[in-house]
Amino acid sequence: MELMIISVIALTMRLHRMQLPREVVVGNENLSLLNEICKKLGFCESALIVTGPDTQDIAGRRVSDLLIDKGMDINSIIVNSSTLQEVKDVENKIEELKPQVILGVGGGTKIDVAKLSSTRQGLPFISVPTTASHDGIASSVAAIKGFNKPYSVMAQSPMAIVADTDVIIRSDYRFTASGCGDIISKFTSVRDWELAYKVKNEYYGEYAASLALMSARLITKNADLIKPRAEEGLRLVLEGLISCGVAMSIAGSSKPCSGSEHLFSHSLDLVQSNGGLHGEQCGVGTIMMAYLYDIDWKGIKGTLQKTEAPTTAEELDVEPESIIKALVQACTIRPERYTILNTKQLDYTSAKQLAKVTGVIP
């Protein structure tokens, strides 16, 4: 009897929760499927659309009209950035209107606000991205400013993802190139996760790690297809981003997809905040972290160049000095996340050397 109780406790302690999307649709002209998807998931009455001033015109209004046409009670709220204040504003709207589901229609920031506000109010959310800029369109984590920490917080996975390539292909190609940078970063984030497992005995899941790595490998293999107005390439990027989001959901944390290269990007945001895109900065970080790992950093740089993602300080439009400072400070951003930066302990001189040798700074 005693043995049985112990084994039940052991099993309970090893319980691993995975929250995955139920419907994922990537393709052209698929916004019209939203009504059917909402119905299938049991949302036939009401929804709140979280969108931006521009994305309202690009897709928000269309989604709203489509669902109103089918007899749903639809309200929209416009958010401008992903701050805690905007999350609270959306939460107030949710409390007032009591919708069945929240739809995030827009780029990364609008989706992040929809994701966190719906989580805090205990409601499901559907992701309708209008750009392919980072894996937050499909993940369970949200990047929100105002938490006194410059990195993402846990929220919930979208219940459905509807990525319309006709809409996304019309966005600035820079966003898609940034998405490639975010996917490429899995070459080093997975290494960091493995390192934390070996050194700190942290949980490591090979399935989630393989899924994240597979996206990075597929983007590398097909980099030639990823270019402005190329639908096939865009689909690859979207599917890669969604797989990365699913990898995080399987892992139950952002670890498979966010390592030292992400710490560099968050650090750069603090050192020189110039509105650089997350994936662009992570891509540049990956080149340098790959060098520290002694893996094919030149190949990574070549892939980024093919997809027209930035690979230098100049292309990121930041000062070389900011890159060095960001490298030195990166390990202080999230001390509990063990990465290659803990073992290498970069100082000013070694950080400068790293940025120079990889061609990130002249």
Scanning 20-28, 176-184, 187-195, 299-307 for contacts with Zn ion by CB under 5 A, the matching segment is 176-184
Scanning 15-23, 81-89, 129-137, 169-177 for contacts with Zn ion by CB under 5 A, the matching segment is 129-137
Which tokens in the block code for residue 144?
Answer: 């929100």
| Closer to Zn ion by Cβ: residue 134 or 301 | 134
In the complex, least distance from residue 116 CB atom to Zn ion, rounded to whole angstroms: 16
> Restricting to residues 341-360, which ones interact with Zn ion according to CB under 5 A?
none
Give the CA distances from residue 121 to residues 69, 116, 232, in Å, rounded to whole numbers and listed in that order: 27, 9, 37
| Closer to Zn ion by Cβ: residue 134 or 191 | 134
| Closer to Zn ion by Cβ: residue 134 or 255 | 134
Q: What x-and-dash track marks residues 80-119 binding Zn ion by CB under 5 A? A: ----------------------------------------
Q: Strands 46-51, 101-106: parallel, antiparallel or unpaired by DSSP?
A: parallel
| Closer to Zn ion by Cβ: residue 168 or 212 | 212
In the complex, least distance from residue 152 CB atom to Zn ion, rounded to whole angstroms: 8
- Which residue has 């499909």 as its token pair? 138
> Restricting to residues 236-265, which ones interact with Zn ion according to CB under 5 A?
none
Among 86, 164, 182, 239, binds Zn ion (CB under 5 A): 182
- Residues near 270 by Cβ (< 8 Å), separated by ≥ 6? 150, 326, 329, 333
Scanning 35-43, 130-138, 162-170, 195-203 for contacts with Zn ion by CB under 5 A, the matching segment is 130-138
| Closer to Zn ion by Cβ: residue 21 or 136 | 136
| Closer to Zn ion by Cβ: residue 112 or 182 | 182
In the complex, least distance from residue 157 CB atom to Zn ion, rounded to whole angstroms: 16
CA distance 190 to 250: 14
Say if CB 286 and CB 310 are below 8 A apart. no
CA distance 149 to 168: 30
CA distance 116 to 118: 5
Radius of gyration of the chain (CA): 20
| Closer to Zn ion by Cβ: residue 62 or 261 | 261
In the complex, least distance from residue 261 CB atom to Zn ion, rounded to whole angstroms: 9
Number of residues this chain uses to bind Zn ion (CB under 5 A): 2
Residues at the site binding Zn ion, with contacts judged by CB under 5 A: 134, 182
